[in-house]
Every structure is written in structure tokens, then in C-alpha cells.
């Protein structure tokens, strides 16, 4: 399991920077505003949604392939399954 600041995160635009904060106000990340981009706000909001996206994907994949004894039974676990490959990528920073 990846060790990150628990979500949900929210994107907050300040005078000269964007910040991502969790629900108790801990700053997860901040970045000075650069040249304005039409994608800037959408990009920050997408990053802010990362914990929810990651947790939902991992939970739903586990639910889909969980056996009756709770073991993971995805046939492509770790290599061939696109979802497992993506989760591994996020957890280890490896390339897809």
C-alpha cells in the first residue's frame, strides 16, 4: 500500500499559488502560479482527486477479484492486468 497524506484533498487557489490540502488543513502540495493556462485549474483539481481515484480503483478491483477467503485472485496480478499495472505504477513509481 502506498503511503500518502490521507484524502480527500481539495484544491485551493491562493493569490500566488495553488495548494492541495487535506480535510484537516494539512498542506499536501503547493505550487507557485506560472503563466496562466486554460488547463491549470482542471489539472490541479484532477491531482486533488488522486486519493479518491486511487482508493476507489484499488477497492473495486479487489472486490471484483476477491475470493471467498479474501485472497486476491486477479489472473493478471502484477503484470498483465491493466488495473494491477496501474496500481503498481502508482505505488512504485515505475513506468507503465
> What does the binding site for Zn ion look like in residue numbers (CB under 5 A)?
74, 81, 83-84
Which residue number is nearest to Zn ion in terms of Cβ?
A: 81
13 half-sphere exposure, CB direction, 13 A CA radius: 9
Compare residues 57 and 74 and give the one whose CB is closer to Zn ion. Answer: 74
Least gap, CB of 70 to Zn ion (angstroms): 16
Q: How far is the CB of 54 from Zn ion (least distance, A)?
A: 14
Whichever of 12 and 81 has its CB closer to Zn ion, that residue is 81
DSSP states of the chain: ------S-EEEEE-SSEEEEEETT--EEEEEE--S--TTHHHHHHHHHTHHHHHHHHHHHHHHHHB-TTS-B--TTTTTT-HHHHHHHHHHH----
Min separation Cβ 36 and Zn ion, Å: 40
Name the residue nearer to Zn ion (CB basis): 28 or 87: 87
Amino acid at each position: 500500500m502506498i503511503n500518502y497524506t490521507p484524502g480527500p484533498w481539495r484544491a485551493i487557489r491562493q493569490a500566488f499559488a495553488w495548494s492541495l490540502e487535506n480535510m484537516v488543513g494539512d498542506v499536501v502540495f503547493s505550487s507557485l502560479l506560472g503563466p496562466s493556462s486554460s488547463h491549470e485549474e482542471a489539472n490541479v483539481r484532477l491531482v486533488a482527486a488522486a486519493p479518491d481515484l486511487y482508493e476507489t480503483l484499488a477497492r473495486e478491483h479487489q472486490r471484483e477479484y476477491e475470493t471467498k477467503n479474501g485472497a486476491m485472485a486477479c489472473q493478471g496480478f502484477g503484470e498483465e492486468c491493466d488495473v494491477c499495472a496501474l496500481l503498481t505504477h502508482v505505488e512504485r513509481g515505475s513506468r507503465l
